[in-house]
Structure 1
Amino acid sequence: MTRPDPSGACPPLPSRALGRSDVRVTALGFGGAAVAGLYQDVGEEEAAAAVDAAWAAGVRYFDTAPHYGLGLSERRLGEALRDRPRDGFTLSTKVGRVLVPHDGGGDDLAHGFAVPATHRRRWDFSADGVRRSLEDSLTRLGLDRVDLVLLHDPDDHEEQVFREAYPALEDLRSQGVVRAIGAGMNQTRMLTRFLDDTDVDAVLCAGRYTLLEQGALDTLLPAAEAAGKSVVVGGVFNSGLLADPSPGATYDYAAAPAGLLRRAVRMREVTESWGVPLRAAALRFPFGHPAVASVLVGARSAAQVRDATEQFHRPLPDAVWEGLRTRSLLSGEVPVPAGSES
């Protein structure tokens, strides 16, 4: 990676095609949950500024979902991207949850979003549900198309997903309605099945390929590499623990276990001994595997976007990885990115 330009101009972000499709994603992608009030309210101007900062940094891959803020993420991303050249960016959204109007009042914090509970989510992995969900998403986005559609968290609907939802996505791709298809989950077993048994272009794996855990190396990443398909990595900070390993840090959306917190602190000691913030190493780590096409980072403000961009481009010597291995914090079997010291 190249060092950031002192003038403030960002180096270009590399991009890769998803599998054998013509859909390209930048190595750093913008995850759209945070701007939809994930855990705390985010104002319209702050959200728009975050997307603008991502664009200025060269990010051209944006990911969203109906689940995020009960459609707020889609509406905000659509508004922020609507006047950009449509062929100049890649947009992914997800299907599986249909939003149904709800007038019961209250908020959506039970699902993690600080937004009014104007709708409720209904699981629907039927073929009709997939098509309706995509149509509703396009309406909220105010755009004519999305590039990548992912089946979202189908953990408890496996039989129906492979029988109905996936064939519907394949049909939409064959008709040219979408250009690439896949699935996004927090587990590896079913994602590996998608790679082995279907013709998905990519999968989004959240939280299972990070500096703290590499379960995706067992089956998922080898399956993707063998099939010529791509993996997008989400949750690279494990819900915050690898961004700031301090008391009260979260891991998988809950309080971090003491043992993992101690491990993350030891990792930080190693990376900082080489002048590298732990979050920079965590952000770059997934690119050691050739199947990884992009890492999604959620940001609720322009400042967070600029920090992520700075960490992505930060020089990262091979000695960081060697130091982690020497202290038994990273297995020697785990692939790491080539160092960048200049």
Structure 2
Amino acid sequence: MTVATRRLGRTGWTVSELGLACTRPWSGRWMDEASAIALIQQAVKLGITGFHTGPCYDGVRAQERLGKALRTLGPERDHLLISIGVGTVRLGRSQVIRDFSPDTVEQQVAESLDRLGLDRLPLVCLDRPESAYLTDDLMDTLAALKGEGAADLIGVAGSPQQITAGLVAARGTGLIDVIMPAYSPADQDSEAIIEQAALDGLGVIATGTLARMSFAEMDADWSLPRTWWQAKRRLTDRLVAAGQVARAQRCRFLTAVKGWSAAQACLGFVLSHPDVHSAVFATADLRHLHENAAASGRVLPTEVIRRIVSAHR
């Protein structure tokens, strides 16, 4: 089994249609470093070439672990699309702030290159910026990073409004190459901006593709670290994302699609969109990695796609 590839808009890159988010719980204390590195190695063997991380994910542990995994790959790593999100800064263990100042962005890029052991970053992505952060100085800094070879591509991630703000700030410059919108059976609000991005030749990498699996049954085995992680995540969802959870609950039928796991059905739906070039998911489980990779190259039944679209309305 090898994950299929797609052209990433007009960027000149070809990327696997499934990508791996190297965030929590992959970088968490519940998963040892050797297992985390082994998961990256297995993902590459399966044909996954897109890996997303950031300098604020679980402190710096996520980037450090990914860097150690990349160093085991040798020249093969030169063909991977490694992306980082910038502009989010973690203060201590719990406080997160937004800082898109040129100095901070330059520092995050430099430190990420060092942790990852790379000479350049294939993709540097603004992480959920608001309009007020998108200054001319920031655009100049991003252009300089690209021009100097520190970054091959520049992107913007977030809600439709945040992505639009980034595109407007860079209008006429050709600076933005990729967008990373949230898109899943439970969140189809980015439909219009995905279609427009494709018309403009931009690469589209979908995030949040598994709808946080909040509609599926939770693992019952409390001896497993992922069970505690699922419980914590669901509590957070219900406190801060009640609307999305309600949408996800309307997709419970995805747990009973014949021949598809719930996660595969989510990925199948995202990849059914002709303008999505890669769908990013997160996992810390080798079994889930193989299961999700098996969604590549398959066609989700039309009636299931129609039902997903109807459930979102």
Normalized against structure 1, the TM-score is what? 0.76
Match of 1:128 among 83, 100, 103: 103
Task: Work out whether 1:21 is the aligned partner of 2:11.
Answer: yes
Q: Give 1:299-314 correspondences, 5 Å limit.
A: 299-314=283-298
* Bigger Rg, which one: 1
Q: Paired residue for 2:180?
A: 204
Equivalences for residues 187-336 of structure 1 within 5 A: 187-198=159-170, 199=174, 200-206=176-182, 209-217=183-191, 219-242=192-215, 244=217, 253-255=236-238, 257=242, 259-260=246-247, 262-269=249-256, 272=257, 274-314=258-298, 316-322=300-306, 324=308, 328-329=310-311
Partner of 2:224: none
Take 1:246 and 1:265, find their aligned partners in 2: how far apart are those partners?
16
Alpha-carbon distance in structure 1 between the residues aligned to 2:306 and 2:276: 21
Superposed CA RMSD in Å reads 2.8
In structure 2, do the counterparts of structure 1 residues 144 and 261 end up closer, same or farther at CA, with 3 Å as the change threshold? closer
Aligned equivalents of 1:243 and 1:298: distance in 2?
A: 16
Gaps of 5+ in 1: 1-9, 103-107, 112-120, 332-342
- The verdict on how the C-alpha distance between 1:122 and 1:320 changes in structure 2, with shifts beyond 3 A counting, is closer
Range with greater deviation from structure 2 (252-261 or 70-79)? 252-261
2:49 to 15, 38, 60: 60
Matched, 1:184 2:173: no
Post-superposition CA distance 1:290-324 (Å, at most 9, x none): 32111111111322211211233556333433555
Q: Closer, same or farther in 2 for the Cα pair 1:95/1:290, shift >3 Å?
A: same
How far, CA to CA, are the matches of 1:323 and 1:21 in structure 2? 33
Displacement of 1:88: 2.2
Whether contact under 8 Å (2:11, 2:203) holds in the other structure is no
Letter in 2 for 1:33: T
* Structure 1 position 147, deviation (Å): 0.6
Q: Check if 1:161 corresponds to 2:161.
A: no
Greater fraction of residues in helix: 2
- 1:32 matched residue in structure 2: 22
Tell me if the contact between 1:82 and 1:143 (Cα under 8 Å) persists in the aligned partners.
no
User: Using a 3 Å threshold, how does the CA distance of structure 1 residues 162 and 330 change in structure 2: closer, same or farther?
Assistant: same
**Which residue does 2:227 correspond to in 1?**
none
Q: What is the match of residue 120 of structure 2?
A: 145
Asked if structure 2 preserves the Cα contact closer than 8 Å seen for 1:238 and 1:251, the reply is: no
Superposed CA offset, 1:210-236 (max 9, x none):
11231112x412320221112211111
Deviation at 1:64, TM superposition (A): 0.6
How many pairs are equivalent?
292
AA in 1 matched with 2:280? L
Distance 1:230 1:252, change over 3 A: farther
Other-structure match for 2:85: 94
Matches of 2:283 and 2:15 in 1, distance apart?
A: 18
1:175 to 138, 148, 167: 148
Q: 5+ unaligned residues in a row in structure 2: which ranges?
A: 221-229
CA shift, 1:22, in A, is 2.6
Whether contact under 8 Å (1:229, 1:291) holds in the other structure is: no
Question: TM-score scaled by structure 2?
Answer: 0.82
Aligned match of 1:114: none
Distance between the aligned counterparts of 1:82 and 1:145, measured in 2?
14
- Could you tell me how far 1:127 is from its partner in structure 2? 1.5
Residues in 1 aligned to 2:254 and 2:283: alpha-carbon distance in whole angstroms: 23
Equivalent position SS for 1:130: helix
Partners of 2:204 and 2:121 lie apart in 1 by: 18
Q: Is the 8 A contact 2:213 2:263 kept in 1?
A: no
Give the letter for the 1:300 counterpart: A
Quote how far apart the aligned CAs of 1:11 are: 2.7
